[in-house]
Chains A and B, each alone.
Chain A
Amino acid sequence: MDSVLALLGAGILEALQPLNLTMIIIGCAVGLLVGAMPGLGSVNGVAILLPITFLVPPTSAIIFLAAIYYGAMYGGAISSITLGIPGASTAVATVFDGRPLAQSGQADKALTAAAIASFIGGTISVVLFTLFAPPLASFALKFGPPEEFALMLLAFATFIGLGGDDIPKTIFSILIGLVLATIGLDIISGKPRLIFGDISGFMHGINFLVLAIGIYGIGEMLWTLETSQGKVTVHKVKMSFRSLINNIKEVKSYIGTTTLGSVLGYFVGTLPAAGATPASLMSYGLAKTFSKDPDSFGKGNVAGVAAPEAANNAASTGSMLPMITLGIPGSPTTAILLGGMIIWGLRPGPLLFTEHPDFVWGLIGSLYIANFVTLIINLAFIPVFVKVLTMPFTILAPVIYILCIVGGYAPTQTMHDVWLMFLFGIVGYLLRKLNYPVAPAVLAIVLGPLAERSLRQSLLASHGDFSTFVTRPISGTCVFLAVLLIAYPVYLKYKKRKAAAAAAV
């Protein structure tokens, strides 16, 4: 343990060297920008910046890539909150409450909460990484297909409570998302499914960002147009040092959910199959299910911003573990980090921890410093981000539309996806008018393919025997917890109804 602490300390000191610190600051700033631009995508951003990394020593280069990765994780929240467009899939859950807060003139509060929760998430995950990395690496190996499926089941269960009182509508929404998730090439046999004749745009499936930007970006705009009747509205946002301090002080109202979200995010992040997006969605679902005031979620509850942000940052540290020990990157950006490692002759694998401890702990140490730097940059720039909202709607609306189109086009670079995005925008708007929760559908399209693959792999292995999910200890526990989570909101509703009936008498 002492040696680990010494190594981590050395890593942090290494990250504080002038050159490395400069790389961290530049990386975090670039990452923030890249993460905040919907669809620009950190993959393109990092690929374009890769040449810079050859000008500096390998350690500084990896630190730079890690700083971009980390900055992007923070940056995603900015466009989610201020514009209502998720900058990255990891920031979708941040839209749920971030956008309503911004609309009610509390964008600064939401942004501060996002920054602080991210910082707490980052801190907790670094501590967990330091304490539990080796045992967790072997724990992650215990996750075979049945365990992965049970975990997905658990993620879905956390969302049953999301739709508020209307559980049937939530389930309907999940099912719509699952159907959309099956579009494209079958993951096992490779046969095309639901491609509507032979529309090649459907071959690669429905890109998750296309759906999220459609529903939240376009749908939201349509909704605003209807409610404001095209009237020019200007949000008034007061920003002062005092309000910043007050916003920071509010941390005590969401410290519980943030801590829970951080721990959850870290554990989910360490599993090779999952990553930061499911982690943030699960954290949001749990925050709502166990909140004293679940009805305020989705209408502008600060805890609804803090929970997913803490989880996605914690998960981004956690997902370093499978990359380092197994060579399985959890996201396209980590894949670039992996590429960087291979070029410098570092092969990820179980031996990297023992053979190159200076590298591993230098990386973790730099993540921690990056965490700190991003917090400061973020807090300093909140007044600038908030200014965006003071723009008249007549200017802001076209900007948002353009960002949505760019974001819809960028991932696959086909017009097909842009049309699809508009379609999702209209459908999302109608669903909202009919009072259907859309968040569960978004969750389903992220988790659907993961769940389907692990379900089919498990059933192939067990020759069609479903008991494989309950007889294995880890998956059995997850299934049990999922059942409890589904039962909990149903029980609450029953209790409420009974109380209401009693009051009526």
Chain B
Amino acid sequence: MKKFVKPLLPMVVAATTAMTFSASALAEWSPRKPIEMIIMAGTGGGADQIARLIQGLIEKKDLSPRPVIPINKPGGSGAEALRYLQDKAGDDHTVLVTLNSFYTTPVIQKDLGVDVSKFTPIGRMAIDNFLLWVHTDDKDITDLDSYVAAVKAAGIDWKVGGTGSGQEDSILTAMMEKEFGYDVTYIPFPGGGTVAKNLVGKHINSTVNNPAEQNEFYRAGNTKPLVQFTAERLPAYPDIPTAKELGIDIEYYMQRSLNGPPGMSADAQAWYIDLFKQVFESDEWQQFCVDDGLDCGEWSAGDDLAEFHTVQLKRHVDLIEAVGAAAITGE
């Protein structure tokens, strides 16, 4: 009998300790299967690049016990992704990488039945910026004035490429149409990468792509920025004026945040907030932001982000009302 008990004792102790540990581990949620990271845009665009960088950083730093799998659902200006998340209500293994179409698409497409204020806010990774780009072969276009003149001369033959009706760039395009009193033809593509390619190939005349989507073509001398829609000049583009400097009251940003489906458990939300905060604070992420003209100064998460979403949602409803939903969808 004694023979039995002796080796058994440490096992019992170990088992008890393990139970206490697992009890505390239960309170601290962690994923039990691969995490789906839904991207509401196509491959190669800004959101896609960010999602894939985040995936890589999580793996590299071994931040998650389960892999993160990026999945592109670009359909209908993000409608496909939003609806997918809505239908995943209560799921703890799905997160969404957002663009501003997170706000605009449900407003423009009411029959989609998506209410983003019910989604679970996790964390804001960056604020992205917009610039106006044309091909470098358009030698006559050197600044905003010559651009507006060229667009007015071309009329509806002027083709602006973007990532979808109702997507943030279409709103910015509609804001410019209203400001300058011209009418352009807006052509939607599945992602910012494809837009950039079509601008370089001269199938479109201009775009308001994000810096990350256009930077390599700028460095290669294929495309040039004319104006930036920011409050101050970005460090990456010190010589390009802002719209405000030119007396045009257009300032527009895009949040890049992570959100869970409606009804994600609070424990899971807390775990994801911690996860993405570590990514946000990494040197690699901060360096990416500097190189690609994103603003990553301030981390915002949970309720703070929810408040930010509420303000932005209101702003976009107003914006859509001001320019008219028809101007955005082109109907």
Interface residues, chain A, CB within 8 Å of chain B? 43-44, 47-48, 50-51, 54, 141-145, 184-192, 198, 200, 203-205, 272, 322, 326-329, 332, 335-336, 338-340, 342-343, 347-352, 453, 457, 460-461, 463
Q: Is the CB of A200 within 8 A of B87?
A: yes
Q: Is the CB of B216 within 8 A of A47?
A: no
Determine if B300 is an interface residue (Cβ-Cβ < 8 Å): no
Return the contact of A186 from the options B70, B76, B108, B159 (Cβ within 8 A).
Answer: B76
Whole-angstrom distance between the Cβ of A61 and the nearest chain B Cβ: 10
Contacts of A340 in B (CB 8 A): 56
- A44-B34, A342-B56 known; A463+B166 contact, CB < 8 A: no
Number of interface residues of B (CB under 8 A): 66
**Of B146-154, B182-190, B249-257, which stretch is located at the interface?**
B182-190
- Tell me the complex Cα distance, A335–B217, Å: 19
Q: Is the CB of B67 within 8 A of A47?
A: yes
Contacts of A338 in B (CB 8 A): 43-44, 52
Whole-angstrom distance between the Cβ of B75 and the nearest chain A Cβ: 4
Contacting A at CB under 8 A, from B190-229, are 190-191, 193-194, 196-198, 200-204, 215-217, 219-220, 222
Whole-angstrom distance between the Cβ of A285 and the nearest chain B Cβ: 26
Q: Is the CB of B216 within 8 A of A349?
A: yes
Q: Is the CB of B187 within 8 A of A461?
A: yes
- Tell me the complex Cα distance, A14–B85, Å: 44
Return the contact of B67 from the options A48, A326, A332, A460 (Cβ within 8 A).
Answer: A48
Q: Is the CB of A191 within 8 A of B76?
A: yes
Whole-angstrom distance between the Cβ of A335 and the nearest chain B Cβ: 5
- A51-B62, A203-B83, A328-B197 known; A342+B53 contact, CB < 8 A: yes
Residue of A nearest to B197 (CB): A326
Contacts of A44 in B (CB 8 A): 34, 69
Contacts of A200 in B (CB 8 A): 83, 87
Contacts of A352 in B (CB 8 A): 216
Contacts of A142 in B (CB 8 A): 201
Return the contact of B194 from the options A43, A272, A349 (Cβ within 8 A).
Answer: A272
Contacts of A351 in B (CB 8 A): 216, 219-220
Residue in B53, B72, B203 whose Cβ sees the most chain A Cβ within 10 Å: B203
Q: Is the CB of A54 within 8 A of B60?
A: yes
Can you list 21 A-B pairs, Cβ within 8 angstroms, ordered by A? A51-B59, A141-B200, A141-B201, A143-B201, A185-B80, A188-B164, A190-B105, A190-B109, A191-B109, A192-B112, A203-B84, A326-B193, A326-B200, A327-B44, A327-B216, A335-B43, A342-B52, A343-B57, A347-B216, A349-B220, A460-B185
Contacts of B53 in A (CB 8 A): 339, 342-343
Can you add 19 more A-B contacts, CB < 8 Å, to A188-B165, A192-B111, A338-B43?
Answer: A43-B69, A54-B60, A143-B201, A184-B80, A185-B76, A185-B80, A189-B76, A190-B76, A198-B113, A204-B84, A272-B194, A272-B197, A326-B200, A327-B44, A339-B52, A342-B53, A342-B56, A350-B216, A460-B186
Whole-angstrom distance between the Cβ of A216 and the nearest chain B Cβ: 25
Contacts of A189 in B (CB 8 A): 76, 165, 329, 331
Determine if B301 is an interface residue (Cβ-Cβ < 8 Å): no
- A47-B69, A185-B76 known; A326+B196 contact, CB < 8 A: yes
Whole-angstrom distance between the Cβ of B171 and the nearest chain A Cβ: 14
Contacts of A457 in B (CB 8 A): 187-189
Q: Is the CB of B72 within 8 A of A190?
A: no
Residue of B nearest to A463 (CB): B156
Determine if B48 is an interface residue (Cβ-Cβ < 8 Å): yes
Residue of B nearest to A50 (CB): B59
Contact with A along B110-122 (1 / 0, CB 8 A): 0111000000000
Return the contact of A335 from the options B48, B79, B190, B201 (Cβ within 8 A).
Answer: B48
Determine if B286 is an interface residue (Cβ-Cβ < 8 Å): no
- Tell me the complex Cα distance, A145–B72, Å: 22
- A51-B62, A326-B196 known; A203+B80 contact, CB < 8 A: yes
Whole-angstrom distance between the Cβ of B155 and the nearest chain A Cβ: 11
- Tell me the complex Cα distance, A347–B219, Å: 11
Contacts of A145 in B (CB 8 A): 187, 198, 203
- Tell me the complex Cα distance, A328–B213, Å: 11
Whole-angstrom distance between the Cβ of A465 and the nearest chain B Cβ: 11
Q: Is the CB of B220 within 8 A of A329?
A: no
Q: Is the CB of A50 within 8 A of B75?
A: no
Q: Is the CB of A144 within 8 A of B67?
A: no
Determine if B55 is an interface residue (Cβ-Cβ < 8 Å): yes
Residue in A47, A51, A191, A198 whose Cβ sees the most chain B Cβ within 10 Å: A47
- A192-B111, A203-B83, A453-B190 known; A328+B159 contact, CB < 8 A: no
Contacts of A48 in B (CB 8 A): 34, 67
Residue in B48, B52, B78 whose Cβ sees the most chain A Cβ within 10 Å: B52
Whole-angstrom distance between the Cβ of B25 and the nearest chain A Cβ: 21
Contacts of A343 in B (CB 8 A): 52-53, 56-57, 60, 284
Q: Is the CB of B44 within 8 A of A328?
A: yes
- Tell me the complex Cα distance, A47–B51, Å: 13
- Tell me the complex Cα distance, A188–B164, Å: 7
Whole-angstrom distance between the Cβ of B97 and the nearest chain A Cβ: 13
- Tell me the complex Cα distance, A204–B88, Å: 14
- Tell me the complex Cα distance, A203–B75, Å: 9
Residue of A nearest to B167 (CB): A190
Contacts of B77 in A (CB 8 A): 190
Determine if B309 is an interface residue (Cβ-Cβ < 8 Å): no
Contact with A along B283-325 (1 / 0, CB 8 A): 0100000000000000000000000000000000000000000
Contacts of B30 in A (CB 8 A): none
- Tell me the complex Cα distance, A317–B168, Å: 35
Contacting A at CB under 8 A, from B26-66, are 34, 43-44, 48-49, 52-53, 55-57, 59-60, 62
- A200-B87, A326-B197 known; A205+B75 contact, CB < 8 A: yes
- Tell me the complex Cα distance, A141–B197, Å: 7
Closest 6 CB pairs of A and B: A349-B216, A190-B76, A339-B52, A144-B203, A343-B56, A185-B76
Contact with A along B77-112 (1 / 0, CB 8 A): 111100110010000000000000000010011011
- Tell me the complex Cα distance, A353–B22, Å: 52
Whole-angstrom distance between the Cβ of B159 and the nearest chain A Cβ: 5
Contacts of B111 in A (CB 8 A): 191-192
- Tell me the complex Cα distance, A68–B241, Å: 46
Contacts of B329 in A (CB 8 A): 189
Contacts of B83 in A (CB 8 A): 200, 203
Whole-angstrom distance between the Cβ of B324 and the nearest chain A Cβ: 16
Contacts of B124 in A (CB 8 A): none
- Tell me the complex Cα distance, A272–B189, Å: 12
Contacts of A350 in B (CB 8 A): 200, 216-217, 220, 222
Contacts of A185 in B (CB 8 A): 75-76, 79-80
Contacts of B56 in A (CB 8 A): 50, 339-340, 342-343
- Tell me the complex Cα distance, A340–B105, Å: 31
Whole-angstrom distance between the Cβ of A69 and the nearest chain B Cβ: 15
- Tell me the complex Cα distance, A185–B164, Å: 12
Q: Is the CB of A144 within 8 A of B201?
A: yes
- A200-B83, A339-B55 known; A327+B193 contact, CB < 8 A: yes
- Tell me the complex Cα distance, A335–B71, Å: 10
